[in-house]
Amino acid sequence: MQTASARKINSIIHLILIISAIAMLVPFIWMVLTSLKTTTEATQIPIRYFPDTPSLRGYTEAIRQSAFPHYYMNTILTAIMKTVFPVIFSSMAAYAFARLRFPGSSFLFALIISVMMVPNPVFYTPQYMMMSDLGLVNTVTALWITSLISPFATFLLRQFFLGISKELEEASVLDGCNPFQIYWHIMLPLVKSALVAIVIIQLQWAWNELQWPLIINSSPEKMTLSSGIATLVSMFGTDYPVLMAGAFMAVVPMIVLFFIFQKQFIEGIAFSAHKG
């Protein structure tokens, strides 16, 4: 009797999960379907689920008529810069804050962490003025130069370093290693999984960010995919297949990356939250 009721509960759980999962997926399915339709099919009444003869016109138009190749290059470059530097700098700082006691360390750590509480737009006007003084408005450099560090990554990595046994580094101190050598040769390899997770999180943030690219660069050749997609609307209005094709091309790299690294991605986030 108990197994029967347990089975009943199990199938209710499955039903709820399946319906919700489909609801979560609808936007992706609709994006792909619409991108393959003709302009008339996309807005036809009554509604059409599938295109008659799937066409790639949306994709070719989006690439041909906008600065799409530029958006791609700018986004890739920006994402790399906003990932490599923060990860290097943060892991260094995180190691120092976790393992080397020095005067002012808790104050300086609190100072860096407190930045996480400030709404990002608070920074934008002064950063814009800074970029303007340096003559960097409408340059690709401006897209990443303000984000070479990450308090979030510093905080997270410090948590990981705190969890590592002290004995390992004590042995290397006796061998005459300096703190940087210990960090580089011993500690970094030990937090490799955390580094992978942070690399992916940083990449995803950089790839998807909208507001700063929108503010700092207005010429199409200097836009990212995010701000570029936003301007496609004014170029293509209601040509929904082109808009959907552009949207699809913009999300594909991150989704592919997610499927490849989904284990590290999900566990990295879950694990760090658990430690925090």
Partner 1 sequence: MITLNSRSRYVWAYLMITPTLLGTLIFWGWPVLQSILLGFQRSENFGLVNHWVGLDNYVKLFNDGEFWQNLRNTLTYVVLFVPVTLVLSTLFAVLLNTKIKGLSVYRVIFFLPQVTMPAAAAMVWVVLFAKDFGLINHILGTKVAWLSNPHYAMLVLVIVGVWGAIGLNMLLILAGLQGIPKSLYEAAEIDGAKRFNKFRYITVPMLTPTLFFTSIILLIGATQIFDSIYLIIGKTNVALPAVRSLVYAYYQNTFVYFNPNYGAAIINILLFINIILTGIQFALQKKWVIYD
Q: Which is nearer to partner 1, 1 or 47 (CB)?
A: 47
Q: CA Rg, the chain, in Å?
A: 24
8 A C-beta contact, residue 176 and residue 106: no
Tell whether omega for the bond before 27 is within 30 degrees of 0, i.e. cis.
no
Query: Do residues 109 and 96 lie in contact, with contact meaning Cβ atoms separated by under 8 Å?
Result: no
What tokens does 261 get?
Answer: 């690294």
Q: How far is the C-alpha of 150 from the C-alpha of 205, rounded, in Å?
A: 11
Of 162 and 255, CB closest to partner 1: 255
Q: Helix, strand, coil proportions of the chain in percent (round to 5)?
A: 80, 0, 20
**60 or 211: CB nearest partner 1:** 211
Going from the C-alpha of 251 to that of each of 26, 59, 95, 254, 264, the distances in angstroms are: 15, 14, 34, 6, 19
Min dist CB 17 to partner 1, Å, is 5
Of the candidates 157, 187, 105, the one whose C-alpha atom is nearest the C-alpha of residue 271 is 157
Q: Nearer to partner 1 by C-beta: 67 or 215?
A: 215
Work out how close the CB of 192 gets to partner 1 at its nearest, in angstroms, rounded to a whole number: 19
140 or 249, CB closer to partner 1?
249
**Distance (Å, whole) CA 207 – CA 200:** 10
By C-beta, is 55 or 123 nearer to partner 1? 123
